[in-house]
Amino acid sequence: MEQNRTSRIFIPFWFRPFLPVGIILLLACSMVGLFGRAAIGKAEAAQVSAANEAIELPAPTFPTPTPQTRYTICLDPGHGGEDPGSILTQGEQLLRREKDDNLRLALATKKELEKMGFRVILTQDDDSYLDTTERAQFANENDADLLISLHRNMYAGPEEANGIEAWIAHNKPAEDYRLCRLLFQQFEKLGYMDLREIRTGTMMDPQDDYNVNGLTNMVSCILEMGFITSDRDNELFDAYYRDYAKAIAQGVETYFNG
Ligand SMILES: [Zn+2]
């Protein structure tokens, strides 16, 4: 019958007296295995935590990012290399080259801006020549947020001209104009600077742009930091160019951070 075919584990007759002992031994072995493994696990965990304690370092600290660290300022010392910019001569004697003043002011301004936490790039810092298209490309390629091109003015007319002037693109971009206004406010605070106009376009064509204004895709302006043909402006420049640098940096700071 089907019911009688219940499967039964065949245990040899001679083993039956040992059966309870066998079961007890089997249980004992498995208990040892379990606890043993748990014990090994604990030992391993203790080792790992000891290792962790050994290499435990103080929590890393990162400088708190300031708003300035997010902004890249491109300073463009005008002229350089074979191009001296405007020059001042007396007879045969060369008294002054614009490119030297531009670079001197750019390096001082870089220092001031970096103190404030800005990232500063210069189109050139070693008196090398780049044309104005290359300067604009440099600012664009480096994702500058703002460009200031530094120059000195000249005037060959009969009466003396002096003071600071700014140039922005012919369509008078609102942000470029705001930047210049803020820079001029800082120059005004110095108290001894003559402030001229914020001009648009170019000297030759009010509908055209200087390349650093027209070909750049960030806020930009050209600053003409006094006339190289004015003794007064030259004396001021030599005595106070570091203050000019601070004023420019402060104007930039105010432009971004109010
Ligand atoms: Zn120039």
**Centre of ligand 1 from the C-alpha of residue 162, in Å:** 15
Domain shared by 131 and 153, yes or no: yes
For residue 54, what are its two tokens? 């050994």
**Centre of ligand 1 from the C-alpha of residue 106, in Å:** 13
Residues 6+ apart with CB under 8 A from 116: 68, 249, 253
**Centre of ligand 1 from the C-alpha of residue 115, in Å:** 27
Domain shared by 72 and 23, yes or no: no
Confidence band (pLDDT; 50, 70, 90) for 63?
A: low
**Centre of ligand 1 from the C-alpha of residue 152, in Å:** 5
Pair 90, 223: CB distance under 8 Å = no
Domain shared by 121 and 236, yes or no: yes
**Could you give the residue ranges of the DSSP H alpha helices within the chain?**
19-54, 98-115, 132-141, 174-190, 211-214, 231-257
Domain shared by 82 and 178, yes or no: yes
**Centre of ligand 1 from the C-alpha of residue 86, in Å:** 6
Domain shared by 89 and 37, yes or no: no
**Centre of ligand 1 from the C-alpha of residue 138, in Å:** 18
Cα angle 188-77-226, degrees, rounded to a multiple of 5: 35
**Centre of ligand 1 from the C-alpha of residue 153, in Å:** 6
Domain tally for the chain?
2
Domain shared by 119 and 213, yes or no: yes
**Centre of ligand 1 from the C-alpha of residue 225, in Å:** 10
pLDDT digits (tens, 9 = 90+) for 229-241: 999 999 999 999 9
Domain shared by 50 and 91, yes or no: no
Q: What is the mean pLDDT of the chain?
A: 86
30-44, 103-117, 145-159, 226-240: the lowest-pLDDT one: 30-44
Domain shared by 171 and 199, yes or no: yes
**Centre of ligand 1 from the C-alpha of residue 121, in Å:** 19
Residues of the domain holding 39: 18-54
- The 8-class DSSP code of residue 145 comes to S
**Centre of ligand 1 from the C-alpha of residue 189, in Å:** 25
**Centre of ligand 1 from the C-alpha of residue 176, in Å:** 19
pLDDT digits (tens, 9 = 90+) for 18-41: 656 555 555 554 554 544 454 445
pLDDT of residue 1: 43
Domain shared by 126 and 94, yes or no: yes
Say how many CA atoms lie within 13 Å of 23 toward its Cβ. Answer: 4
**Centre of ligand 1 from the C-alpha of residue 79, in Å:** 6
31-45, 155-169, 170-184: the lowest-pLDDT one: 31-45
| Helix orientation angle between 231-257 and 98-115, rounded to the nearest 10 degrees | 30
Total Cβ atoms within 10 A of residue 107: 16
Helix H or strand E encompassing 81: none
